[in-house]
Every structure is written in structure tokens, then in C-alpha cells.
Amino acid sequence: MTPKSVAVAGATGLVGRHMLQVLEERNYPVKSIKLLASERSRGKQLPFRGETLPVEVLTENSFRGIEVALFSAGGGTSKKFAPCAAHDHCVVVDNSSAWRMDPKVPLVVPEVNAKDIKWNNGIIANPNCSTIQLVVVLKPLHDAAKIERVVVSTYQAVSGAGAKALDELLAQTKAVLEGKQPECNVFPHPIAFNCIPQIPQSDAFGENGYTSEEMKMINETKKIMGDDSIRVCATTVRVPVHTGHSESVNLETEKKLSVAQAHEILSKAPGVVVLDDPAKQLYPLATEAAGKGETFVGRIREDLSHPRGLALWIVSDNLLKGAALNAVQIAELL
């Protein structure tokens, strides 16, 4: 690949820092790099390839001379600054939800729909973390047997809500163990030793009773898979895990797939690792997936309630494949 001039917007956040880490680990051909963040981060410095680089304040003129920009600075920031970058002939890979359902913007998971990158107009959307790991597993099964319906329940790590949420989990855990009342600032209820069926925590439920995170999974899955006929029902839950989203998935296919066939298909699927030997207690765990770029699948079994149903357990690092790694993979394809 030809070396590129790169910018990372939101560089000081959890995902932004992981983007820098992934760029370095995958030896992305960086000709020059600019680290961008809000006024609050003025004066901060971050390490990259043995150097300590200053963080600059993000402005409308930040992208002149930049070829690729990785954004993880929130939807409002992306709406304001991504068009500025595109206007300056920079291709933006955006991690927020701002552009995902825009029909003029491709929504890409490289293992699933890499070809959609070709029709970008300067902005490419990085999907929701929970959607990414889901479709990486669904796509090869869909190609083999056409998925008609998916029911997914998520067990999402606290790191998906940011650094302040992780601090709250730690503080609340300490408080509970000391017999004190946990204080809630980020989440509406205690997250320590608890599960909260509301993601994101700051949004109200929609009129249909679903959260915006659940609707993201429903709509994004159809767009990425390129098939609006797939019926999706999602329930998203925050659990007191540091890193690594887990998903319980039931799917119904037009053509019956046996467990053995599903194993064979998924063992050959790009970006997927099958961990499935219940007799040896081998199945995907968030603690084992953390720090790894693959999506892990196990507990593959027939759904006893449906003649053409399968049940799966899917786990992936939400900060890597669910965000930073997927964005860098898109940049590599560019």
C-alpha cells in the first residue's frame, strides 16, 4: 500500500486510542499522522510508533492534506466535521451512528460487504459494535441457507459506554464490596453486580418499546447484509464486564443447516474462530476474546423449537473488531 497521510479524530477516547494501537500493530503505511480531539484535550500527548505526538484541536480546516481520517468523536462532531474532511478530498471512516443509515454512505464490515467501499463519496460508516460481530457470523450462513429471521440478545461490556463508565463500574464494585451504596452518574441504575436492559443509558425508549441500540442492530444488519427481507429482533443489555460483547443468537433459515454444516461453514469464514467443544467446557468467553481481533462463535446447536433453527453464542472485543480494528481494515481496503 502507498503510505497515507492519516488523521484520527477523537484520538484521546477509548476507541481513538485503540485506533492508534491497531494502526501501529498492523503496520498501516502512515506517511504522516495528525491526532485530533476537542478543546478539552488541548495540550495532551499520545504515543505512536515510539514517538510522543501532540493532540491538536479539531477544526474545519484540520483535514487539508489528509488522505484518510478515522473518526471516533461522536455523532454530532461527525455530522459537523466529516463533510469538511470529504470536501478536502479526505476519506472518512466514521465510527459514530451519524451516517450509518444514510443511503449515500456505505456501511461496511470488510468480511461481509467490502465491495460497498467502492461507491463512497468521501464518508464510509463503521457499524455498531454489536452488529459487526453478528454479521461476520451470519453472512456465511446466509450465503449457504438464506437466513429468514434472527433473534439476538446481547451482553454488552461497560467499555462500550466509555472511560467514565468503566470508572463507574470499578467504583460501584468497590462500594458494594465494602457494604456501601453505589453512586450512579453514568448509568441510570447500578451496573456493578447487575444487568441493565437499556443501551445507550442516556436515550429514552422509542414508541415501539425498543432502544436506539436495538434499532441499530435491526436496521444495520439488513443494510450490511444487503437483504431487507431478513427479520431481526434485538434485545441489548449492559453487563458488568470490562471488555468483550457477547450475544445469544437464534436464527431460522430457508434451507435447513445441520450443526455439522454450520461448523464447517463457519470454520472457513474470514474473521471467525469456532470454539465449540462443550464436553471440554470450550466456548467463547469475553475474557478470552478481549485483546483479540477475531469474532468467536460456539455453543452451536439445533434450535429445538424450530425445524430449521440454529442457536449460537458469539463473542468479540467491542473496542477492536467492534470499532477500531474494523475501521482500520476499511482504511486498508481503501
Alpha-carbon distance 35 to 51, whole Å?
13
Kindly report the pTM of this predicted structure: 0.95
C-alpha cell at 126: 463503521
CATH topology of domain 131-317: Dihydrodipicolinate Reductase; domain 2 (3.30.360)
Query: What is each CA distance from 158 to 76, 194, 238, 283, 311, in whole angstroms?
Result: 22, 11, 7, 21, 25
Per-domain boundaries in the chain: 4-127+324-333, 131-317
The span from the first CA to the last CA of the chain, in angstroms, equals: 9
Residue type for position 167: D
Residues in Cβ contact with 307 at an 8 Å cutoff, skipping those fewer than 6 apart: 256
Which residues are tagged catalytic?
129, 245
* CA 169 to mean position of chain CA atoms: 21
* 3-state DSSP assignment of residue 263: helix
Cβ pair 193, 215 in contact under 8 A? no
Query: What is each CA distance from 310 to 44, 69, 138, 141, 192, in whole angstroms?
Result: 49, 39, 11, 10, 32
Cβ pair 108, 305 in contact under 8 A? no
* 3-state DSSP assignment of residue 91: strand
Tens of pLDDT, residue by residue, the chain (334 residues): 788 999 999 999 999 999 999 999 999 999 999 999 999 888 899 999 999 999 999 999 999 999 999 999 999 999 999 999 999 999 999 999 999 999 999 999 999 999 999 999 999 999 999 999 999 999 999 999 999 999 999 999 999 999 999 999 999 999 999 999 999 999 999 999 999 999 998 888 999 999 999 999 999 999 999 999 999 999 999 999 999 999 999 999 999 999 999 999 999 999 999 999 999 999 999 999 999 999 999 999 999 999 999 999 999 999 999 999 999 999 999 9
What pLDDT, on a 0 to 100 scale, did the predictor assign at position 43?
86
Alpha-carbon distance 313 to 273, whole Å?
12
Domain 4-127+324-333 has CATH 3.40.50.720: yes
DSSP track, 134-166? HHHHHHHHHHHH-EEEEEEEEEE-GGGG-HHHH
> Which residue's C-alpha cell is 457499524?
127
Alpha-carbon distance 160 to 105, whole Å?
24
Helices of type H across 155-310: 163-177, 212-225, 259-267, 286-289
Helices of type H across the chain: 14-25, 75-87, 110-113, 129-145, 163-177, 212-225, 259-267, 286-289, 325-333
